[in-house]
Amino acid sequence: MKVLVVGGAGYIGSHMVKQLARQGHDVVVLDNLSTGFRSLARYGKLVVGDLADTNLLEQLFQQYTFDGVMHFAAASLVGESVQQPGKYYRNNVSNTLNLLEVMVRHGTRHFIFSSTAATFGEPEYVPIDEAHAQTPINPYGASKLMVERILQDFYNAHGLNSVCLRYFNACGGDPEGDIGECHDPETHLIPIILQAASGRRSHITVFGRDYATEDGTCVRDYIHVEDLCSAHALALHALNAQQLKGALAYNLGNGLGYSVQQVISAVQKVVAEDGKEVIVEEGQRRPGDPATLVADATLAKEALDWRPQYADLETIIRHAWAWEKKVVLSAE
């Protein structure tokens, strides 16, 4: 297939591009490189540009006939979305609308959207399934939910088939150590702990040990980036084979919850093999951190025949640690 991957130079998008290329697909990457890296997009043809540029989008769709589009190009920092909501509604909603309208004009009818568990807001129960109420508590989650609604309307009006994949905590890296997580600033727990182990940070902070969990620290569902990408690939194949149609949405997670302390302990075990350690400091709770967020991904497993291959926390950490060591070595 000919596939357009928007945001294919970022963390999840670059892993997606590599996986698609390995499967024999022809991939075009559209990325403005604001948070992505040219070096990570080397498995597809890179076009540097922005979804706000409707002329560029028209040129792309005139030049190529795409069998499907995958969209990873969202702004995704919750705190920033509260401070700069306009940026999030403009980039995550308006720019996505630009893309969808061009797709409709050029007859491209298969769309895979990177959504988020943030559309659910504060959990009413766990694990969270697709029937859970969607009441986002920040502009980031609200912007993603708006796109989900737009996709339903575009299916009704234009027959544009879509699959929204709502992920919980993406983590890990390419098992071959070829590409990995490169956020600046980094906000994800596992790479933050690994940076403390490698010396790129002095310490990590645990924000609260008084939650209603087994060890008092927050519990999250960590899903390997390769498993996320395999779900996207399966969804695209299902749409192209006409096995799925409509505006569909599935949760992606392992269904396993690991506490912050469990993650720290697992990292300490892995990095100790290299003679490294992690300095841990204590902090106060952060507002808006639910005690537990765990996915029920039953529907994705049934509809896509999807099974996570890297659910083990230590395996996730080892893949991420291999990338962190590579980053540190390249900087020396």
**Which sequence positions are flagged as catalytic?**
140
- What the block records as the tokens of 185 is 């600033």
The secondary structure of 141-193, three-state, reads: HHHHHHHHHHHHHHHHHHCCEEEEEEECEEECCCCCCCCCCCCCCCCCHHHHH
Q: Are 161 and 222 in contact (CB under 8 A)?
A: no
Per-residue exposure over 64-81, b if at least 16 CB sit within 10 Å of its own CB, e if not: bebbbbbbbbbbbbbebb
Spell out the alpha helix ranges (H) of 26-83. 54-63, 78-83
Residue type, 40: L
Contacts of 57 (CB under 8 A, 6+ apart): 51, 98, 99, 102
> Which residues in 94-116 are b (16+ Cβ under 10 Å) and which e?
ebbebbbebbeebebbbbbbbbb
Distance between CA atoms of residues 60 and 53, nearest Å: 11
Neighbours of 51 (CB within 10 A): 22
Cβ proximity of 240 and 314 under 8 Å:
no
- How many other C-beta atoms can be found within 10 angstroms of the C-beta atom of residue 262? 18
Contact 249, 144 (CB under 8 A): no
